[in-house]
Structure 1
């Protein structure tokens, strides 16, 4: 039977429980390689891998930085400048619907699907619940953004879509 000293066991348990940090780069103690902004990104612009580059930075500056895989495909909440790490508060899911945009409201129940035209009353990203005005009835309903220009309404909204 192998006996571990209590301190050795505690250190091993802590190493397993903590999330992995970016690896230190060879030859530069205290630096890590992370994804940083390669060129200026405007607020509202969707970030691609081409907008990012891997750079060695001081480990303290890398705290909270997202990985390249986590950043790509998200939308910048504010302008981002070259050389800066991207953190969760800098990005959001892309807006698939903009306030005032014409949208298609869809409700499905069983094998029946009904679609109606509407106008978005607020911005929304995939999965967001937004208010939409039915063009025909002028009634306001809520639905979930499922794709660009598409709002899915719960089956209880069937009468609202039909303009009743």
Structure 2
């Protein structure tokens, strides 16, 4: 058995190991993502810009340094031939964000045509910046939105379904009895938000939840 395997073992021993080379940008991006760690959003794109000469392929990065604030980096890239090259440049961490295509004023509804996606530096993205277009379209503007600028979550809100002073239909349902009565809203409210109302029959003040346009439900 060993005699039959011996030629195969010798052939494998004499076969050179495959060298896996990558574009240096790929290896440098890997190092940068490790350096940024959790400070870099998972869906961010990292662009590598060389300020000096570069090489076509590298087998590994033997040394890496970067300034997390500016993105400046230095790297020692080792080619498949074992030659080390010093590379330098800048890393740009970018994120795709929804921004308004025009200036939107308070009270306006954000339509699909009012939003476009642009790539902006991650450092311009705050903790309360809206990154999902689905969380911007259909919302109502609370504070003026500038065209082309990121939108903060506190600058928009769910659309109002009831305005202060609106006549509303009051619904009470305890599972056994359903009662309706006319009322008037004392607050603005979006769907699912609590508001103060007054029952126009009894003149009694109540707290209700907005269920839709002109419809509120008393929950207590």
1:51 corresponds in structure 2 to: 114
Distance 1:53 1:124, change over 3 A: same
Please show how residues 108-119 of structure 1 align to structure 2 within 5 Å.
Answer: 108-119=173-184
2:93 corresponds in structure 1 to: 30
SS in 1 for 2:124: coil
Point out which structure has higher relative CO (alpha carbons under 8 A, 6+ apart).
Answer: 1
- Structure 2 CA distance, aligned partners of 1:19 and 1:92? 27
Structure 1 residue 21, shift from structure 2 partner: 4.2
Show structure 1 runs of 5+ residues with no match: 1-10, 157-164
Distance 1:82 1:97, change over 3 A: same
- 1:124 corresponds to which of 173, 189, 206: 189
Show structure 2 runs of 5+ residues with no match: 1-32, 50-91
For the aligned residue pairs, the C-alpha RMSD in angstroms reads 2.5
| Contact in 1 for aligned 2:158/2:190 (Cα 8 Å) | yes
Structure 1 residue 27, shift from structure 2 partner: 6.6
Query: What is the TM-score normalised by the length of structure 2?
Result: 0.58
Distance 1:27 1:55, change over 3 A: farther
Query: What is the TM-score normalised by the length of structure 1?
Result: 0.76
SS in 1 for 2:196: strand
Please show how residues 85-164 of structure 1 align to structure 2 within 5 Å.
Answer: 85-154=150-219
| Contact in 2 for aligned 1:31/1:56 (Cα 8 Å) | yes
Higher mean alpha-carbon deviation, 139-148 vs 62-71, is at: 62-71
Aligned residues: 143
| Contact in 1 for aligned 2:109/2:139 (Cα 8 Å) | yes
Task: Kindly name which structure, 1 or 2, has the bigger radius of gyration based on alpha carbons.
Answer: 2
Structure 1 residue 58, shift from structure 2 partner: 2.1
